[in-house]
Structure 1
Amino acid sequence: MPKTSTPAPTVPDTAWLGRGRHLGPEPEQDVRRNLIALKAAGVIDDFLDLAPPHAESTEVGPLPDPFGAESGPPLPETTRRRFEARWRVDETVTVRAQLTTYEVAGRRRTGEAVSWVLAAEAERPWELRWPSPATMFWPDSDRVLWDYDVVPGPRVRAVSPLPADDKEMRRLLKDCVRQSWNIHVVVHEAMTPDERGRRPFALYLPPSLRHRVVEHRAAPEQSQIADWAVRDLGVRLPRGGAVVLPTATGGPGPDPERFAVRNVFLDGSEPTELVQKVIAVALRPRPATADTEHALTELRGRWHLLTMEEELAHTRELVTKYADALEAMTKSRDLYREAAERAQAALAAAPRPPVPAPATPADPAATRQDGSPLSALTKAFGRFRDGGKPPS
């Protein structure tokens, strides 16, 4: 019999997911300032800073690595901080988003980055023209270093040159495919570009996609080395062109040419074909992983920023639950009372057995005489005397 294959789970089309690293000294302060400014400007409806002393805002202790087993060893003694924000798109569609930061103990001494995970979900399928959830939490400024990929080195809002060493280049690209949630693109410079050509092409992408794309640049002399590096991933890099790297869970498929662009002119003009390739890749169903499912579960199951209507509905739900519990307890009490009354009635109606008369006690004096040591000695001497007489 033919085997029926179960389709692999995918990320809901209502969700926007991202993660990265913040290299600055005060990431939570950057988030808080941006949220306060956007709320004052009416960009977001409300936000919540789940800071101490809230029990659910900060958790200290060994936590699972939010970036999966292949991202390195588990994070030791990590502090978790959470922010929530709510805003509307197209005037009526509500978006709920949750940003969680992970700070390793002793980070200020060692200079380690703060890792973050952002999950947002709308009331209808996500549209790329909507504002990026990243800029609702992080300030959209190059001076704030929040947009580094989870793989050390590349940055989202900038052009990231490929390493000169071919082994390091291969390792970097493979790590980006395995670990990153971003879309990675490798662009080969046919010749050294000027200032306009060094601008990232993500500026031409729709708003919701600008902070999900990392652009790697191969120098003119790296054409062959970069092509060999991406061949390991199932795609090819044309000279003077570009290629969109597949993810580990979603390979290039039977036609890897769909991921490649023959010519990219780095003269400041819009790379229309490359933009269309990236949008097509972004619109493909995204395979769900343990990390993405965890982020969505946290967003849906541990949400605190409720509207007045949601608070009222939540209160009504609690009242209904308590009323049902009280009614069940009352019924149980009544059943126990009825059972006790029936047991008492049955006990009262049951016939009682006759009480036996007490036994007459023996004569205490006779008992004392028969059982005394003197009586036993007298009987023994009597038998001795009788033993010497002849029988009559």
Structure 2
Amino acid sequence: MSNSASDRSPIPDTVWQARGRHTGTSSEDVLRRTLRRHKDGKILDDFAEPPVPQDTARRVFEARWRVDGEVPVRARLTLLPPRDRADGREWLLVAEAERPWEDSWPSPATMFWPDTDDVPWDHHHTVAGLRLRDINPVPADDKAMRRVFRDAPRGSWSVHLVVHEAMTPDERGRLPLARLLPPGLRHRVLEHRAAPHQLRAVNWALREQGVEVPRGGAVLLPPRPAPDGYDAMEYAVRNVFLDGSEPAELLDALRRFTALPKPAPEGAAETLADLRDNWTLMTLEEQLARERGLVAMYAEALEAMTRSRDLYREAAEQAHEALAAYRDAPAPPAERPEPAAPPGASPLRQFTRTFARLTGGAKVPRTRGGDDADEVKDPS
């Protein structure tokens, strides 16, 4: 099976997903405390921590809640085993609703993690120093800048936004734009902020991405691979006012961008399948529906086995009938044997007669006594 991005299925519009790294200590305890607090506050219907093999550091947390008062949402957060970094744990989060996701719904990330600045759960999972809920200044070094724009979107589950400051903003303008976004987009957008004097260097670094940020505007970095008919200029915003007001034009571009039929990033399809196939936090109705489904599946399998048995029995009976008919059929007539040579025939005599005829020599008279009476008479 191919692992290329072009072979991965698009993300369903009922799914919300995010990926990051918690750089603090005791990631599991932070999750347990947050989930317990939300359940006690009636924000969550319930949560669970499904068992995992004892020989792995992987941990799984499930939560269930409702949006708009009636739409069920199921979410699963997976803490991956520590890798090459000593600080914190990488996490994957996938939530699925029973209807297409709306940006006004609460962020699933804050159902598991506390939405406070003192808990560092929102770091980028591969590029150190980048955060979802903060401004990420573009590096001053050109090579480092180019490396960030190349490596950060690679395999990322986030939307990468590059914003250029047309002038030095005030206190309100120095706040992250994520704070002004609706909850459903707030923790899916990573903001790269370029200073006023960096415009030329930023656009030089973005050339290999095929995009350009307008002066005082913003641009969304394209997905890899880009969907058919993708036009980068449709997702470039000419003016982003960093004055604390809602960035309406940018918000429109973000909504159109997130609605694109993009391939699921690496690991997202497996995490979604894990949510659907291994979900344990079921209501009584869900358990009954699951048992009915299992009964129907077993009944179908039993019916298929019964059909196979009947077909096998019918084939066996036909084989026995054919064998009995073969045994009762009359034997075919025996083939006639080839005529044998006369008992007294001698190959030497046969050769002698033939040689005499060919050479025109003496006649070889025949006698009624057979071949044994044949003689060669001397004409003298």
Q: Tell me whether the two structures share a fold, i.e. TM-score over 0.5.
A: yes
Residue type of the alignment partner of 1:11: I
Post-superposition Cα deviations, 1:4-54, rounded to whole Å, max 9, x if no partner, equal xx997311111111111110101111111111111111111110023xxx3
Alignment correspondent of 1:101: 79
- Superposed displacement of residue 153, structure 1: 2.0
C-alpha separation between the residues in 1 aligned to 2:138 and 2:259? Answer: 27
C-alpha separation between the residues in 2 aligned to 1:40 and 1:193? Answer: 41
Residue 132 of structure 2: which of 156, 162, 165 is its match?
156
1:67-146 to 2 correspondences below 5 Å: 79-104=57-82, 111-146=86-121
- Superposed displacement of residue 239, structure 1: 1.7
Structure number, greater radius of gyration: 2
1:307-386 to 2 correspondences below 5 Å: 307-317=283-293
Aligned 8 A contact 1:252 1:259 in 2? no
- Superposed displacement of residue 218, structure 1: 0.7
The 1:316/1:111 distance shift into structure 2, 3 A limit, reads same
C-alpha separation between the residues in 2 aligned to 1:224 and 1:299? Answer: 45
Alignment correspondent of 1:13: 13
1:125-274 to 2 correspondences below 5 Å: 125-150=100-125, 151-250=127-226, 253=229, 255-274=231-250
- Superposed displacement of residue 132, structure 1: 0.9
The 1:290/1:243 distance shift into structure 2, 3 A limit, reads closer
Aligned 8 A contact 2:24 2:87 in 1? no
Residue type of the alignment partner of 2:208: D
- Superposed displacement of residue 91, structure 1: 1.7
User: Percent identical across equivalent pairs?
Assistant: 52
The 1:114/1:324 distance shift into structure 2, 3 A limit, reads same
Give 3-state SS (helix, strand or coil) of 1:184's partner: strand
C-alpha separation between the residues in 1 aligned to 2:262 and 2:294? Answer: 36
Aligned 8 A contact 1:230 1:236 in 2? yes
Aligned 8 A contact 1:57 1:82 in 2? no
The 1:266/1:289 distance shift into structure 2, 3 A limit, reads closer
Give 3-state SS (helix, strand or coil) of 1:94's partner: strand
Q: CA RMSD in A?
A: 2.8
- Superposed displacement of residue 252, structure 1: 9.3
Aligned 8 A contact 2:160 2:192 in 1? yes
Post-superposition Cα deviations, 1:38-80, rounded to whole Å, max 9, x if no partner, equal 1111111110023xxx3x36552xxxxxxxxxxxxxxxxxx21
Alignment correspondent of 1:281: 257
Post-superposition Cα deviations, 1:317-365, rounded to whole Å, max 9, x if no partner, equal 5567778899989xx9xx99xx9xxxxxxxxxxxxxxxxxxxxxxxxxx
TM-score after normalising by structure 1: 0.71
C-alpha separation between the residues in 1 aligned to 2:128 and 2:227? Answer: 23
The 1:159/1:58 distance shift into structure 2, 3 A limit, reads farther
In structure 1, stretches of 5+ residues that fail to align are 1-5, 61-78, 340-392
Alignment correspondent of 1:342: none
Aligned 8 A contact 2:227 2:261 in 1? no
Residue type of the alignment partner of 1:232: E
C-alpha separation between the residues in 2 aligned to 1:314 and 1:190? Answer: 57
Aligned 8 A contact 2:27 2:88 in 1? no
Alignment correspondent of 2:47: 47
Matched, 1:304 2:294: no
Give 3-state SS (helix, strand or coil) of 2:205's partner: helix
The 1:283/1:325 distance shift into structure 2, 3 A limit, reads closer
Post-superposition Cα deviations, 1:63-118, rounded to whole Å, max 9, x if no partner, equal xxxxxxxxxxxxxxxx210000111112221111100001317x8xx633310000
Post-superposition Cα deviations, 1:248-293, rounded to whole Å, max 9, x if no partner, equal 1226956322121222222222222112211211122222345221
C-alpha separation between the residues in 1 aligned to 2:111 and 2:74? Answer: 11
The 1:28/1:87 distance shift into structure 2, 3 A limit, reads same
Aligned 8 A contact 2:11 2:263 in 1? yes
Aligned 8 A contact 1:235 1:259 in 2? no
C-alpha separation between the residues in 2 aligned to 1:204 and 1:92? Answer: 26
Aligned 8 A contact 1:57 1:81 in 2? no
- Superposed displacement of residue 192, structure 1: 2.0
Post-superposition Cα deviations, 1:154-189, rounded to whole Å, max 9, x if no partner, equal 111110101111111111111122221111111111
TM-score after normalising by structure 2: 0.73
Aligned 8 A contact 1:58 1:81 in 2? no
Give the total of aligned pairs.
Answer: 304
C-alpha separation between the residues in 2 aligned to 1:321 and 1:154? Answer: 48
